[in-house]
Structures are given as structure tokens and as C-alpha cells.
Structure 1
Amino acid sequence: MAHIETQARPRLVIAGTHSGVGKTSAVLGVLGALRRRGVQVQGFKVGPDFIDPMYHREVTGVPSHNLDSWLMGPEGVRRAFARVAPTTGVSIIEGVMGLFDGRATGPEGSTAEVAALLQAPVLLVVDVGGMSRSAAALVQGYARFDPAVWIAGVALNRVGGERHYHLVKTAIEAQAGVPVWGYLPWDETLVLPERHLGLVPVEEDAAFRRVCTALGEAAGATIDLQAVLASAEAAPSLELPTDAATTPQATKARIGVARDAAFNFYYEANFLWLRHWGAELVEFSPMGDAELPPDVDALYFGGGFPEVFAKPLAENHPFLTALRWAHRAGLPIYAECGGLMYLVEAIQDGAGTRYPMAGLLPGVCRLTDRLQNFGYKEVVSVRDSLLGPAGLRTRGHEFHYSVWEGRPTASSLYRTRSSHGDERDEGYSDGPLTASYVHLHFDTCPQVARSLVENAAAYRERRLRYGSA
């Protein structure tokens, strides 16, 4: 049972005027610079994104958590924040898209909504490449747009030099009345690598550490960190709910989690809930391991980029053989998005080349040149599965370029509804195997995690009693 506590939690939202202005660069720079000064820092990300939190984790040394008002609801956002936000350090919350951009014409799902829910000051990142005094008009509009959102300061990105910086800073402070706390220079070496789903995950590119280090050094030299800390510490105390997700129960089952360059899209809250219900989590690599981890009672394949690593995945025959044998023995397997792609017969790339996969599911996942069924989804289970009974309601998100051709429609798992009202059948469930393109966030329905652990525990009991693989 949750209860309410009033606590001081220093916090700051770093938001952009729009997508692509460099807010992730600013966040990584501030996180890195503060950590080098000995400040305890905790990263958060507004929205359903997986990749930005990976970068936060690499810079801070601790997992970053998502805050999504549509997936979690307002109370869920406050609860997720309260779980890990430090009382003596500072929480840096990275926004999504532009500050006021949400699901439709209202604030729902926006960075502004999360900032208001947490009564957090905002550092607004403005890309001033090719701009000078006009930046003041932009900031003035943002500062006055919503009285519930407090823009405490501005950070400028792609600044051409000291003269450019002082010109823009003077205009913003004089015309918009918002202090400018510094800038990041226009420097190609500070650019983070990207591809079709956003930034390249940290597991794939060791060069990201050089960029993150350089961003931290730049922020330490050109951003007023004392202003950042003072603003975060001035945020009012919050009435925050607590819940059980931070309290693990005694181990009931071991669940293997696929984690390597091909599979790395996971919500940290999902792991918290699995541990709470009694799961011991052990990581494995479908690309690099020859066999499954010993004594696992279920497998969890998250999303990622199996299409990028289709060749090495297809060539790891020992692991694929071990996985097929485990499936035949009844091992519970849950897969999302990229995990689903790995379990079908083959992945077909944009050139038409097919790479054989595990073959636990019929059909082929074919890459296209555009997003498929992108966005938030309301989900209703239409059949019993590892995740719970038919009729279970939860929420999730889809973000993929592939289509599943040959999906067995008679074994559909969900009926999904998009934010536009479009409905469709989705996923697959049959016996111990459950798979879908939808990334579920277990905060929306902790029963999902409980059911998965209970199914793993039941398998464990059979394994220990009868000696099954």
C-alpha cells in the first residue's frame, strides 16, 4: 500500500524548444560535469525512449528511469520519480521533443506536464546556430506560454564563439527576462552518433565515451553549474507516494535477460517489478554466448537492433540450438519487438537478404523504409498468456521499421488501440511462448511482472522435480 511522504528532492528538467536542438548533449554534459565535481546525480527521461537513458547510465554509473505521464499516469510519474531521486544530490530530467509537445493539442505526455507534476524548474536548450536576437523572441514565447512551467534558465547550443554567445545572452536576458546559464560550442566532435531509431546505443559504439567526456568537459567550462544546482535545490518539497517496487521479495525463479548490442531496450521499472515479485535476473548474450545461462526458469528478450546484427545472430548456431531445445522443454519465453524478430524464422533486410533466426515463431520479419504502427498503445489481452489472463489491460509503445509477414492470426495475443483510435490484433501467445511488437511498461500493470515470475516459478518447480532442461 502506497503512502505519502513530503520530501525535498533537488531536481531540474532540461528541455528543448524542439527536437534536435541538443538537449541530450546538454544533459550528458551537465551530468558528467556535476559527477566530476562529486555531486550525486540521477538521470530521468521523459517519454518512452530507451536509448537516451542508456547514455545517462553510462555517464552517471546508475540506471536512468523513464517518466511518462501517458504510460504511468500523473501518480505513476511521481511514484517513479520518488523511487530513485536522491535527497542529497540532484535529479536531471531530460525532456522529449519540444517542451510543450505532447500526444495531441494538449499537454498530455509532454515535458511541460512532467515538469508541472514534479514542480521542477526548467533549463531550456536553444539552438542558436544562425540566430542572434531572434532567440530572445523564442525564449520569451516559451517563458510566457504556460504559467505552470517555470523556465529558470537557458542554455545555448551551437554557439559560434564568445562574441556570438554574449550577443544572444544579452538579448535574451534583456528582452525575455530569463537568465542564460551558458552554452555548448559549435563543435562537430561533440555530436552523438545517430541512425534510424535515434542515437546509436552505447553497447555498439565505444566512441560515445569520448564524446560524453568531451561534453562533460565543455559543460564544466561553459555552463554555470552553480546556477544549475541552486535552481534544482530551490525546487519545493514534494508530496511523493511510495510503493512496493523498490522492495525485492525472496527469490522464486531465475529469469534470463538478453543483453548485448542487439538487445538492450528495457524499462528499468520492469526489472524493479520482476525483482519485487521474486525474480533473480541474469543477463546473457544471444550474439556471444554458446548456451543459455544455467538453471534459468524463463527468458526475457527485449527490443533493440537484431536487424543490424542479423548476420552474427544467425551464425551463432550453438546458442540457437540451445534455445530451440529449451523451448521444446517448455521454458517460458517472453519477447518484445526486437526479441520477437529474433524468434521468427528469418529477418529480411532492405536488400532482400534473409537471415535465419530461431524459428520458434512462423513467418518472416521484413525491414521497410518507414515506421510501422508507431506510437502509444492501449492493450487488452485476448487470450491467456505468460503475462496474465485474457482481459488484462495495460499500456505500451511501438517503435519499429519491420513488419511480421506470416503471423498466425489465430494465436493473436492483444487487441491494441492507438492514440488515433485505430484498432488491430497484435502479438502471439501459445503455451510457454509470448511475443509482441509492443513494449510494455510494467508500471501500468504490475500484475504482468507477477504473472511472468509465477510462470517461471512453476517451471522451476517442474524442473527441479522432474529434471527437465
Structure 2
Amino acid sequence: MYIPRFVVAGTHSGVGKTTVSLGLMAALRRRGLSVQPFKVGPDYIDPGLHRVAAGCYSHNLDSWLCPEPELKTTFARYCAGAQVAVVEGVMGLYDGMRYQGELASTAQISKITGTPVVLVVSARGVGRSLAAMVKGYLEFDPKVNMIGVVVNQAGSRSHAELLRHSIEEELGVPVLGVLARHGQLEIPGRHLGLMPASEMPGLPGRLEQLAGIVDEEIDIDRLLSLAGKAPPLDCELPGCDPVVRDVTIAVAMDEAFNFYYQDSLHYLKELGAGLVYFSPLNDTALPQPVNGIILGGGFPEVFLPRLSANRAMRTELKSMARRGVPIYAECGGFMYLCSDIYGMDGISYPGVGLVPGTVKMQNSLSALGYVTGKLQKNCLLGRAGDLIKGHEFHWSTVSGLSPGHAAYSLQGGRGQDGRRDGYTLGNLFASYVHIHWRGNPGAARNFLLACAKYKAGGR
């Protein structure tokens, strides 16, 4: 299969990868092209922004969460039918899992998928020296196919011309565009990163402005010509045999809970699950019939007054748990299921109460990074000793939980190896760890089989 494609990479975080990526997606879509977006790494917010810009779901490409064969087929599966693929990188081009070389880096994803790289560099406070920086990125790994540079945040027209001349004449690398400083188009953020698309009603208009700027300041025709020289995708698209039939999973989805890898949900469908959605913020009851529940991550701490005021939903979830419905929750969902939640204002709000712990928001990160979790007991996701890969990123802590009910013993991330995380009891499994179901097929199958067992009348 063949598709023109490129990766938008950066020298470091904050250089403007997301702005350039969104602008290019929107500009290409405005030209009438079918654009398939992707995001490198364990990110939830950027794919939501991509969806608005490109008009279709964006998918994560993470070589640590998912093995290379699954990653390649995922990429090919979602590229099918599109006219161009745009991959937004993560952090700097060569940044990946700590002390593991290129693992999980944008550079590695570029090589696995055969996708050429456009490097975004910042022009702030630099002149000809920028060419030296680009030279370093160009030569650090010659196997990375860098097809061009986009210079961001140029101070003036003469500044832009100096940078263009230095890079093109001294390195022979095409400068595909030089963007001026457009501060009014920056995407607003909060403590976990950028603001989610669901909370920015003016986002479509902002992206339309950005598309116009990118169309004017980046040579898109030249970019498409270079992207069109990418090699064919070399992989097969295997089928997936269902493990359950007619099993319905209710998935929390609203402004407070929307951190899901889209391909992870698709994988549950491939295994035979039907997905329905509900809002812990707005709904008073779950869709029926339901054979399992998933509460993903998000920003429950931003919506604590509304979540706590919706007593009907909190009562409904407790009732479903008592009936034996399998419930899986991660990060924000884990927080919501706790007994009490202290927000960033220090005020305590009641949670659902299925997890007998107290959550407290902190003023800085509590944990960040990839982790491997060893299941501490037979539970909803597998048997004691099974290993599960995941990622954690949160500003809160939980206290008051018994170590005997811990979900995992963790390795990696911030903190000491062997630390306990989460809570599991009977039909409930909740923790801070975000997992990708396709990258943890055993856990996915165990969860769905538990849902099928509940439907058949077992607890």
C-alpha cells in the first residue's frame, strides 16, 4: 500500500509541533485532501485536536505500549483510504524512553513506518547558529529521512531570510516554510498540557485562521512532493477473531472523561464488544443492558462540583458494582471511584465510594512515565504475576488503601520500583495506569470474558 506521508518532529517540547501539525492538517483538508492524523506517544489531548483539524479520528503510535508488528499494521489500517498521512511527533525528535536509546521516540516511529521527517525549529534568539542545530539533528541518526525544515517564530522578514539562507545554502536542506510569531493562535493549556478540544468551542475558527497562515507561509506543494517519495507500506492487515459476542460495554465519555486511545477502543470492538457511551457529568443512569463499564482518564478535578452533585450517577455505579458488573477504571476514573476527592482548591468532594481511598490534588506532577505492572492477585485483567504495560501521568495522590487490595506492583515512572498502585476487589479494577488494550491483549480478553460471564448470569 502506498500513501504520501510525513512526520512533524521538533527539536524539543514547546517548539511548535502541535501548531504546525494542526495548521498543516487543516490546510491540507481545506484543499480537499483526505488527511489521516497520528500522534507519537501516549497522548490523549493532541489526538482530539487532530480530529477537529483533519475531520477524522487520530491514532497513537507508541512502540513501547504496542509491539512493532501491531504498530505497523495499525498505521497501515488507518492510512487505507486516505490521501495523505500526518504524524505529529512527541517531545524532541530523538527523545524516547529514558535510558533505552531510541525506544518510543519519534525517530524510531519514523523508521518503523518508513515516514520522512519535517523538523520544526524555533527561531527565537538565534541566527546562523540555527544551521548548526539542524546539522546536529540531521547527522545524529543518518537512518532518519529528514526531508525539510519548518522554522517557527521568526522575528521579522529579514530574520526569516537569514535563517532560510543559512540552512539551505550551508546544509542543502529545504526550508519548507518560515512562520512568523502568531501568538493569538496558540492553543491554551492547563496543568496536564493543552486544553482539550471538547472545551474549546472556538477551535474550528482558530484552526481555519491557522490553515490560512500555514498555506501562505509553508510551501505545501513542495512538502507534498517530498512526502510522495515515501516508500510503500510493507505490512499485512491480519484479521482478529472475536472472543465474545453480544457483550455491551458502557464507556464514560464527556468533558471530564475523554482520555482514550481510539485504537484501544477499536480493539475491544474487534474482539466482539459493543460500545455505548454515557456521561458521569450529565446522565442519571447508564444505558441498558450493560455487561461491563470502563471509566477512562480525563479532568475530573476540573468538574468536581458537577460530578459530586450528580448523586444519581454515583448511586447507579455503586448499584451496578453490587450486581457484579465488571468495572475497569484508570487515572481520572480511578479518582472518581474513590470516597473523597480534594480539588486543587483544597475543598473535599464526595466520589462514588467504590474505592475506599482519599484523593488529593497536588501542585506538581506526582507521577509521569512508562511503567510495567505486575498483577498482585487474580483479578479482572488476569492472574497474579501477569505483567501489563502502561503509562501514568497525574497530579494527584491517593491515600487510605490497603496494600492487600493493590492492583499492581509497579516498575518504572517516578518513584521507587515495587511501589503499589490502584485497587482491585471482585469485579472492580481501578488504578492510575493507562493501558492500551491492543498492547495488552491478555488483559483485554480477560476483561471481556468477565463481561460475558456476567451476562451469562455469573458474578
Q: TM-score range by the shorter chain?
A: over 0.9
Contact 1:411 1:429 in 2 (8 A): yes
| 1:194 CA displacement | 0.8
Pick one of 323, 337, 343 that aligns with 2:317.
Answer: 323
Q: Is the 8 A contact 1:388 1:451 kept in 2?
A: yes
CA contact (8 A) 1:10 1:88 kept: no
Please give the secondary structure, in 1, of the residue aligned with 2:133.
helix
1:203 equivalent among 178, 188, 198 = 198
Shift of 1:87: 5.5
CA contact (8 A) 2:244 2:452 kept: no
Measure, in 1, the Cα distance between the counterparts of 2:250 and 2:338: 19
Matches within 5 A, 1:273-312: 273-312=267-306
Partner of 1:158: 153
Q: How does 1:17-416 map to 2 (within 5 A)?
A: 17-86=11-80, 89-105=83-99, 106-244=101-239, 251-416=245-410
Partners of 2:368 and 2:413 within 8 A in 1 = no
- Tell me, in whole angstroms, the C-alpha distance in 2 between the residues paired with 1:215 and 1:325: 48
**Superimposed CA distance per residue, residues 304-324 of structure 1 (whole angstroms, 9 cap, x where no aligned partner):** 110111111001112112222
Report Cα offsets for 1:216-255 as digits up to 9, x if no partner. Answer: 121112111112211221011232142335x778742111
Whether the aligned pair in 2 keeps the contact of 1:8 and 1:87 (CA below 8 Å) is no
Task: Describe how 1:434-453 pairs up with structure 2 within 5 A.
Answer: 434-453=429-448
1:25 deviates by 0.5
State the TM-score, normalized to the length of structure 2. 0.95
Task: Tell me, in whole angstroms, the C-alpha distance in 2 between the residues paired with 1:370 and 1:422.
Answer: 21
Q: Secondary structure at the match of 1:425?
A: strand
Unaligned runs of 5+ in 1: 1-6
The one-letter code matched in structure 1 to 2:123 is V
Query: How far does the alpha carbon of each residue in 1:394-414 deviate from its partner, in whole angstroms, 9 at most, with x for none?
Result: 200000011111112111121
**What do residues 343-392 of structure 1 show as CA deviations (whole Å, max 9, x unaligned)?**
00111023321011101110111111221232101122121222222232
How many pairs does the alignment contain? 457
The amino acid of 1:160's aligned partner reads G
**Shift of the alpha carbon at 1:185?**
2.3
User: Which residue type is aligned with residue 28 of structure 1?
Assistant: L
Letter in 1 for 2:455: R
Distance 1:375 1:161, change over 3 A: same
Whether the 8 Å contact between 1:10 and 1:87 is mirrored in structure 2 is no
Mind listing any 5+ residue stretches in structure 2 that lack a counterpart? none
Distance 2:172 2:140 in 1: 14
Mark the CA change 1:250 to 1:436 in structure 2 (over 3 Å): closer, same or farther: closer
Q: Which amino acid aligns with 2:249?
A: I
Please report the RMSD computed on the Cα atoms of aligned residues, expressed in angstroms. Answer: 1.8
Q: How big is each residue's C-alpha offset from its partner over 1:233-287, in whole Å with a ceiling of 9 and x where there is no partner?
A: 1011232142335x77874211111011110111122212210111111111100
Counterpart amino acid of residue 374 in structure 2: V
More divergent stretch after superposition (425-434 vs 153-162): 153-162
Equivalent residues of 2:331, 2:431 under 8 A apart: yes
Deviates more, 1:417-426 or 1:259-268: 417-426
The letter for the 2-side match of 1:78 is K
Task: Output one character per residue of 1:40-93: Cα deviation in whole Å (capped at 9) or x when no partner.
Answer: 111111111111111111212221111111222332321221221136511111
SS of 1:376 mapped into structure 2: strand
**Partner Cα distance (2:255, 2:344) in 1:** 20
Task: Describe the superposition over 1:283-314 as per-residue Cα deviations: whole angstroms up to 9, x where unpaired.
Answer: 11100111111211111000011011111100
Report if the CA contact (8 A) 2:41-2:90 is conserved: yes
Aligned partner letter, 1:63: Y
CA–CA distance in structure 1, aligned partners of residues 352 and 300 of structure 2: 12
Contact persistence 2:291–2:452 (CA under 8 A) = yes
Q: Contact 1:314 / 1:355 at 8 angstroms: preserved in 2?
A: yes
Q: TM-score, normalised by structure 1?
A: 0.93
Report the 3-state secondary structure (helix = DSSP H, G, I; strand = E; otherwise coil) of the residue aligned with 1:234. Answer: coil
The 2-side partners of 1:108 and 1:69 are apart by: 7
Q: Distance in 2 between matches of 1:443 and 1:202?
A: 25
Q: Which of 449, 453, 459 matches 1:458?
A: 453
Report SS of the residue matched to 1:434. Answer: strand
Q: Which amino acid aligns with 2:111?
A: A
Q: Which residue in the other structure is 1:4 paired with? A: none
